[in-house]
Amino acid sequence: MTGTQPPTARRPVVATTHGAVRGTFADAGLLFAGVPFAAPPVAERRLRPPEPAAPWTGVRDTVTFPAGPAQRAGITPEVEALGPKAVAVVRALGAAEGTFSEDCLYLNVWTPGIDSRLPVLVWIYGGGFETGTASPPGFDGAALSRLTGAVVVAANYRVGALGWLYPAGPGSHRWTQSANLGLQDQSAALRWVRDNAARFGGDPDNVTVAGASAGAFSVGALLALPAAKGLFHKAILQSGSVTRVQAPGTAAALTEDFLAAAGVEDFDRLADVPLDRILDAQARVVDSDIGRRNLPGGRIWGVVHDGTVLSDRPLDAVAAGAAAHIPLLIGANRDEIRMWAHFGGDDYRPADEHALIAEMTRAGIADPPALLEVYRSRLRAAASGAGRPYGGAPDELRDLRTVFLSDAVYRIPSARLARAQSAAGGRAHTYLFTAEPFGPGTGAFHGAEAIYLGDKLNAVGIDTPDNLATRDHLADAWRRFVHTGNPGWAAHSAGHTDTDTTRQIDPAPRTIHEPPRDIAAHWGVST
C-alpha cells in the first residue's frame, strides 16, 4: 500500500497500521517526524518492554522531531568556548541536542517519495549507550537518504539505566523480561518498519539495519536477538561489532551499585524514583576512562548477555550461523581512539609501561611486550617516514595506548566478526576508513566518517577535493550495499585468509590486509 495522496500534495498523508500521519516536504524528499512505534514507556511502563502504540483516529501531524530519550547531553560550555567551528564539528559528529524525555519511543522517516519501492535503511544511533537521538542535529537522515537512494528510518531507543539496566537484586525476579530494553526498543522499531515500510515508498523485503559505535554494537546484538529474526536482510556495522556484551555477573554488580546510588533497596522501587535521581545515579556508577569502560569487566551501560531476552552471546551466534543469510558490511576507523587521547591529558596517559602491559593482559594478549614492540616500531616508522607524530606532540606511552585500544575495542573485534561470519558460510565485506578530515593530528578518529555520510563537509569548512572524493567513495559503498548487498569489492573468504580483501577508504581507495599481518598473530586473528 502506498500513500493516500500523490507526492505532489502539499502535505502528504500516509495510513500506517496505527493511524494516518501527515508529513511534509524536506530536502528534496519527504519527512515524517515523530511517528509513534510503541507506547510511551512512562509511569507503570518505566523499565518494562515496549508495548504497542495506541491507535488513533483522524490524521496525526508528524512534522516536528520528537524529544530524544532521557539523558544529560548537549553542547558543553567547553566546546562552546572554542567557537562556532568547534560547535559545528561536534554537531557534525552527532552530538545529541534538543529536548529529552522518558516519552521517547518515536521514529523519523525520510523518503524520496511514497510511491516508490526503494531499499530501507534503518539507522541506530551511537552515544555510548548513554546519549543519542534519532533527530537532527544529532542525526539528519535527509543526507543519508540522498546519498544512498534509500528510505531512511531512525528510531529512538532508551539509553542509560532506563534502557540497559540489568534486572538483579531484590525484586528482580518480577523483571526478567526487562533486560536489554534498548535492544527491545530497536526490535519494536524494526517490526514497525516491516509492517509500514511499503506505505512510505520502501521495500519491506530489502531492509538494512545500520549503526555506528553503540549503534553498531546494537546491530551486532540484533544479529543474535530472537525477537529480531527476519526483520532485516542486511547489516552495516561502523566502529562496532559483536563483542561489547557484558556478562551477567558484571551487569549485576553494576545494578547493585546503581540501586544504592539511586537510594532504593530493590528493583521494584525504581518505578517511583525521580528521573533526575536516575540520571545522576547512572553517571556515578560507570567507568569514565575509555579503556576501563570497554575492556573485559568494564562498568558501562549496554548490551547484557542476560540469557532471557538475549539468549546467546552474539559472537557465538554468528559463529554458529545465525547471521549466515545476512550480508554484513563492517567498517572501522584507523585511529578510533585518537580523539580520546587528544583530549584526555594525564588521566589518559598510562602511569608507566607496566601499567600499559597490565591493560594489554586484561585484553587477552598472550605476550604484551612483543605486541608493544610491534606498535612501537610502527609509530616510529610513521613519525620518521611521514613526519607525522601520532596525535600531536610525541608522547610514546600515550600513543602506544592509543593504537592498542583502537585495536582492542574496534579493529580486532571487527576482524573477528568478519572471520566468524565467513567461516559460518555467510558474507562479510570489510573496510578501514583512513581519511583525515582535520589532518594528521586527529587522524581517522572515531566518528570521522559521520561528517562524510552526513554530507557535512561544507558545514565544517573542509569540502576539499580529497574530502569530497572520500565522501563519494564511502557513500557509493553504502549505496551499493543497501541496494544489492555488495559494496563493490570481494567479501572476506574463509580458507583464504592471506588474501587482501579489506577496502581502505580515503581519496584513493585500495585493497589492504586488516589487521596488518605483523599485528594479527598477537591478537590470535588468522592472517
Let me know: does 496 contact 484? Beta carbons within 8 Å. no
CB-based burial label for 58 (10 Å; 0-12, 13-18, 19+): exposed
The 10 Å Cβ neighbour count of residue 127 is 22
Task: State whether residue 241 is helix, strand or coil.
Answer: coil
Residues in the chain: 527
Task: State whether residue 401 is helix, strand or coil.
Answer: helix
Let me know: does 70 contact 161? Beta carbons within 8 Å. no
Q: Could you tell me which residues are beta bridge partners of residue 25?
A: 30
Look at the alpha carbons of 193, 194, 200, 203 in this order and tell me if their dihedral is positive or negative.
Answer: positive
Q: Which of 135, 172, 178, 213 is catalytic?
A: 213
CA distances from 314 to 189, 245, 421, 525 (A): 20, 8, 11, 18
DSSP state of 63: B
Task: State whether residue 237 is helix, strand or coil.
Answer: strand
The question of whether 173 is a catalytic residue gets the answer: no
* CB-based contacts of 289-292 (< 8 A; 24+ apart in sequence): 289/347, 289/348, 290/337, 290/340, 290/344, 290/348, 290/405, 290/409, 291/359, 291/401, 291/405, 291/408
Let me know: does 360 contact 368? Beta carbons within 8 Å. yes
Alpha helices by DSSP H, listed for 165-313, are: 181-196, 214-222, 248-262, 275-284, 290-294
What are the strands, taking DSSP E only, across 125-277? Answer: 151-155, 202-212, 234-238
The rounded distance, in Å, linking the Cα atoms of 485 and 479 is 9
Q: Which of 336, 359, 436, 514 is catalytic?
A: 336
The question of whether 213 is a catalytic residue gets the answer: yes
Q: Which secondary-structure segment (H or E) carries 466? A: helix 465-484
Distance in Å from the first CA to the final CA of the chain: 49
Q: Which of 233, 446, 473, 492 is catalytic?
A: 446
The rounded distance, in Å, linking the Cα atoms of 303 and 294 is 12
The question of whether 130 is a catalytic residue gets the answer: no
Establish whether the linkage from the previous residue to 167 is cis, with ω within 30° of 0. no
The rounded distance, in Å, linking the Cα atoms of 455 and 351 is 40
Q: Annotated catalytic sites, by residue?
A: 213, 336, 446
